[in-house]
Amino acid sequence: MLYLGSIPYTALAEIRPHPGHYVSIGGFTILKDLKVADFDPDISLFSQNEERLEMYEIVQTFDQLMSTPVTPDDTVSYLITQLLAEVLKARGYDGVQFRSSVSEGHNLCVFDTSNAAFLDGHSTVRSIESVSYKAPEVPSLTVPDRGDFQYGK
């Protein structure tokens, strides 16, 4: 499989490098029309009726599943995304596209690497200087008080 990012920063961010790492980014071209499962489609494609809107909700659930970063200890989520890819391949799809959770771009997973070719002159090496995180505070309960418990009715 070949994992591609829609913009260079997406490709770089998806591998989650650390400061001091060097990252090679290459440009690729798709060699033929591909049948791609798109898990981030425009909602207007599903707005005809209630049943289609329910389908959109399912597609968005898959998009969220595919976009959520998988940590090394989360083997179940990884296996689910691999199973989804196998089902799509069995159904005749050439790849899957989904939102990036770490960048503004999208990811494209091409199941057969012979469907893409490296573009000479479209590669760079980047030196990672820093990494930043957005970490807004979320409401949490650190020390419960009497009002936090509900007793039998």
pLDDT digits (tens, 9 = 90+) for 15-38: 889 999 999 999 999 999 999 988
pTM of the model: 0.73
Contact present, 1 and 107 (Cβ < 8 Å): no
How many whole angstroms separate alpha carbon 94 and alpha carbon 114?
11
Stated length of the chain: 153
Confidence of residue 91 (pLDDT cuts 50, 70, 90): very high
Share of the chain above pLDDT 90, in %: 44
pLDDT for 66 beyond 90: no
**CA gap 126, 34 in Å, rounded:** 30
Mean pLDDT of the chain: 85
Phi first, then psi: give them for residue 99, nearest 5 degrees.
-65, 150
**Tokens describing residue 149:** 């418990």
Average pLDDT of 75-93? 87
